[in-house]
Amino acid sequence: MRKDSSILGRFDWPLFVAYIFLLIIGIATVYSVTFDPENPSIFSFSEKYGKQMMWVGISLFLGFLVFLIDSDIYRKFAVPIYLFTLALLVIVLFMPPVNGARAWLGIGSMGIQPAEFAKIGTAIFLARYLDRANLQHQKIKTVIIANLIILIPMVLILLQPDAGTFVVFTAFLFVIYREGISYDPLILPIVNSLPIKGLRFKKTWLGTHFIPILFVVVFLSVVTLLFSDQTFYLELLNLEVGGYWGVLFFIGVVAFIAYLFMRMIFPKRERKKASIIALLVFVLSGGLTAIVNVGFQKLKPHQKERIELVLGLREDPDGDDYNRNRAMAAVGSGGFLGKGYRNASVSSVRTNHVPESETDFIFCPFAEEWGFVGSFVLISIYMFIMFRVLMIAERQRSKFNRVYAYSAAMILFYHFGINIGMNIEFAPVIGIPLPFMSYGGSSMMSFSMMLFILLKLDSQRKEVLR
């Protein structure tokens, strides 16, 4: 029997080894940052490093159990798994709040966060639905159901409220975009009903690329906020344009350039549509910036301050922006080679300069101890894992396996990107743990289970006919 003919022979060992490396690095970092000389044993369960060892052990055990289950079980029970995670998200709304949010099930320090496991349930059910759906001939029902699968847990998570996990769930939008979900069934009837002669589409660029366009909308919103108080001097016109009108002028210039470009590359019969599209882009973008500008002015002062801090429009190093400033100071203090293991000072729990340095800001003590070189190695391991998951996704015969693999890749990417961004003042502080490293049981168990499900699906990929 050839090695590749067995499940263990098809087991993705490089991905598993990288996962183990991160577990070891995470345990070592938690031990360093929370070390108590009175309880030096790493198995001291009264300390956080002892509890982390317990969570890692439980996660490995759950991962082993998950790998023993036949991969076909996830297809057959996708709906019950999804409904079970939704039920947990509903139940948790009636639990006593912890730190202002109803996000935990349990008593005291022993509890689980259902939102972490809802990612797995959503990934499995979304994979099952897209596996069965006919994406070659999409109907409005297909588009709505695919988006509702993502939207329902997002709404329940927002009610907790848990802004961080809510943002992570937008990762699934890229997954359905990758699988070819088009919003044409929703958009075409609206566009074709416009009383404009000659404007009739069988397929629209807007509907096909709705997800990237959605993120362009977010970009325009950020640009509007960044330049809402700026003044632009138009030298050719000897005119000063400020705030919203300056942004609108910028959008108008971009739309005009796009119009000229489309006239160059479009055939004559399509140039009228190009003109109309450029005009619609200008009108819609201008309307969006107006809405964002007016909406921002109507926010409460503390809400405006938080947005301004994230965008760098104001500074408050000892107030609302304290965490990010201290985190950046800790990362920078590591220098090129770092201060050495257990020598972190800025990010140590004992000094408390960086709150939550063992959870959301676990990257800080690691960067302070191992410097740029260590940080580069750590980031390289994460990049290897994400590219490996993408490679696994592309070699699947089954659409179910591929969709699940892409879901896992995007969730890992979101957590990695936002968490590192939080630590280097590139992203807002929204409570996103670093996969396989941050202290905590729910995230450790959910990420491990998600990864082992992927390893199981991949190990049985040759047994799947479609």
Question: Please, what sign has the CA dihedral across residues 181, 186, 187, 192?
Answer: positive
Identify the top-confidence range among 135-144, 204-213, 376-385. 376-385
Q: What is the pLDDT of residue 351?
A: 67
Q: What is the pLDDT of residue 436?
A: 94
Above pLDDT 70, what percent of the chain?
72
pLDDT at 227 over 70: no
Amino acid at 205: W
- The Cα 66–Cα 70 span in angstroms is 9
Q: What is the pLDDT of residue 216?
A: 72
Q: Can you count the helices (H) and strands (E) in the chain?
A: 18, 4
Q: Tell me the mean pLDDT in the region 111-132.
A: 92
pLDDT-wise least confident of 231-240, 275-284, 296-305, 387-396: 231-240
Q: What is the pLDDT of residue 347?
A: 72
Identify the top-confidence range among 8-12, 61-65, 213-217, 429-433. 61-65
Q: Tell me the mean pLDDT in the region 424-429.
A: 77
Q: Determine phi and psi for 351, rounding to 5 degrees.
A: -85, -25
Q: For 203-214, how does the pLDDT look when each residue is reduced to its tens digit (9 = 90+)?
A: 776 777 778 777
| Contacts with 282 (C-beta within 8 Å, 6 or more apart), sequence order | 251, 252, 255
Q: Tell me the mean pLDDT in the region 154-171.
A: 89
pLDDT-wise least confident of 40-49, 115-124, 423-432: 423-432
CB-based contact 223:238 (threshold 8 Å) = no
- The Cα 4–Cα 461 span in angstroms is 12
pLDDT-wise least confident of 3-7, 49-53, 332-336, 398-402: 3-7
- CB atoms closer than 10 angstroms to residue 384: 15
* pLDDT, greater one: 2 or 220: 220
Q: What is the pLDDT of residue 2?
A: 47
Q: What is the pLDDT of residue 454?
A: 95
pLDDT at 186 over 50: yes
Paired with 105 in beta bridges are 112
pLDDT-wise least confident of 221-225, 403-407, 432-436: 221-225
* pLDDT, greater one: 268 or 370: 370
CA angle 104, 105, 106 (to 5 degrees): 115
* pLDDT, greater one: 274 or 392: 392
Q: What is the pLDDT of residue 1?
A: 38
Give the confidence band of 16 by pLDDT, cuts at 50, 70, 90: very high
pLDDT at 99 over 80: no
